């Protein structure tokens, strides 16, 4: 079984984490975000994966390699310009020497899930579908486009931005599709095509089915809030990943050559060469990348601090994200889903919160901001 993963977007909602790197290789706990999807596909028997790339494709190739470490074989196809979800799929199929098989998977590249894709494939085969959409239930259907299923699992229709009185389902698209090769014939080559808006509606009543993945974990890692949520869920084992197996009985995983004189409260994952000084408290629900330095008396809780970042003496980082190389001076407070981009430097006594985002390279002197 082949899979095509759409990774052409610039990840604008996740900036500044994606200002300098493509979203699929943004670190999520201890590996690139895309590694979770590749490992998940491998567990379900997928061997060949095509990455339909757009933004910073060279970095994507360098980070993921040939896919062997994740149990798959990777092929990279770079679209010359944004072509939409359908256009990107058709272009990728045309560029592959052997084309795509008679049946294949198509996936959105920003999803963290442990859904049973094999069950979706089995249903697709049993019904003789042309396309089967993976669906997941959500608590607040009003925030999504909804998919109506009939009793025989055929897709009956779609509801975009429904009013409260129109809501009669809680199922949304999970970005997991099983497709027959004939679906490509519905996508005009060389044109920007949305498969969601143009192809799926054309298939209603003509072989479009849905699989409801009840009870599966599913999260769109598209915003800083959801990035933090995904990190917490991976650490807590709410989604099946290899990370949980690394944690010891105290919920801790330490990389090589770490020095911890402070206190760790699991679950916590430390990369290689981390230093947690005396009087510092790290955790719970914390990820420290390689060579992170947490100074004496600092507190890091419910946070992600990426490689080579520094948390200064007495500073508090709670419910926030520090990108690689960020430097927080003494007695700062970083909270409220704030995000410091790569190489940001804060002088002492700054207060950053309420979702504030500082983009790569920003430097603020002592006491410059209290937000």
How high is the pLDDT of residue 140?
83
Residue 143 makes CB contacts below 8 A (sequence gap 6+) with none
Using CA atoms, how far apart are residues 324 and 339, in angstroms rounded to an integer?
11
At the second CATH level, the architecture of 2-235 is: Alpha-Beta Complex (3.90)
Using CA atoms, how far apart are residues 53 and 34, in angstroms rounded to an integer?
13
Token output for 139: 């608590």
Residue 352: beta bridge partners? Answer: 334
Query: Active-site residue among 23, 154, 161, 163?
Result: 161
Token output for 345: 């430097």
Nearest to 79 by CA among 28, 137, 6, 16: 6
Output phi, psi for 99, to 5 deg: 70, -170
Residue 80 makes CB contacts below 8 A (sequence gap 6+) with none
Which ranges in the chain are annotated with CATH 2.160.10.10?
249-364
Confirm whether 154 is a catalytic residue. no
How high is the pLDDT of residue 55?
66
Statement: 249-364 belongs to CATH 2.160.10.10? yes
**What distances in angstroms separate CA 331 from CA 82, 154, 217, 314, 326, one per listed residue?**
44, 58, 38, 5, 15
Average pLDDT for runs of 10 along the chain of length 371: 86 86 89 93 93 80 91 90 89 80 91 94 96 93 85 90 79 94 91 92 95 94 92 94 90 96 97 98 97 98 98 98 97 97 97 95 94 83
Neighbours of 7 (CB within 10 A): 26
Which ranges in the chain are annotated with CATH 3.90.550.10?
2-235
How high is the pLDDT of residue 27?
93
Are β-strands 171-180 and 103-108 bridged in parallel, bridged antiparallel, or unpaired?
Answer: antiparallel
How high is the pLDDT of residue 251?
94
């Amino acid at each position: 079984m082949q899979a095509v993963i759409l990774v052409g977007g610039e990840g604008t909602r996740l900036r500044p984490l994606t200002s300098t790197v493509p979203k699929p290789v943004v670190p999520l706990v201890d590996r690139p975000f895309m590694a979770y999807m590749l490992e998940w596909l491998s567990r379900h028997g997928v061997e060949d994966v095509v990455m339909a790339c757009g933004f910073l494709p060279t970095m994507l190739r360098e980070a993921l390699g040939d896919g062997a470490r994740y149990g798959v074989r990777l092929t990279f196809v770079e679209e010359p310009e944004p072509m939409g979800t359908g256009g990107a799929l058709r272009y990728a199929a045309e560029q592959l020497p052997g084309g795509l098989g008679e049946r294949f998977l198509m996936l959105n590249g920003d999803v963290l899930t442990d859904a049973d894709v094999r069950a979706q494939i089995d249903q697709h085969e049993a019904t003789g579908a042309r396309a089967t959409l993976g669906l997941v239930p959500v608590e607040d259907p009003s925030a999504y486009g909804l998919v109506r299923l009939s009793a025989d699992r055929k897709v009956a229709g779609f509801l975009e931005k429904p009013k409260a009185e129109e809501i009669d389902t809680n199922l949304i698209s999970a970005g997991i599709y099983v497709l027959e090769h004939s679906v490509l014939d519905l996508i005009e080559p060389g044109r920007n095509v949305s498969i969601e808006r143009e192809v799926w509606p054309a298939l209603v009543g003509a072989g479009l089915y849905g699989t409801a993945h009840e009870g599966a974990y599913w999260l769109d890692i598209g915003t800083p809030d959801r990035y933090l949520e995904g990190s917490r869920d991976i650490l807590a084992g709410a989604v099946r990943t290899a990370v949980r197996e690394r944690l010891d009985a105290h919920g801790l995983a330490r990389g090589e050559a770490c020095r911890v004189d402070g206190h760790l409260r699991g679950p916590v994952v430390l990369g290689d060469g981390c230093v947690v000084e005396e009087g510092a408290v790290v955790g719970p629900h914390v990820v420290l990348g390689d060579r992170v330095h947490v100074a004496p008396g600092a507190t890091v809780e419910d946070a992600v601090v990426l490689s080579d970042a520094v948390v200064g003496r007495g500073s508090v980082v709670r419910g926030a994200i520090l990108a690689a190389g960020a430097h927080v001076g003494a007695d700062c407070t970083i909270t409220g889903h704030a995000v410091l981009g790569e190489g940001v430097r804060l002088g002492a006594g700054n207060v950053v919160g309420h979702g504030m985002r500082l983009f790569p390279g920003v430097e603020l002197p002592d006491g410059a901001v209290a937000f």
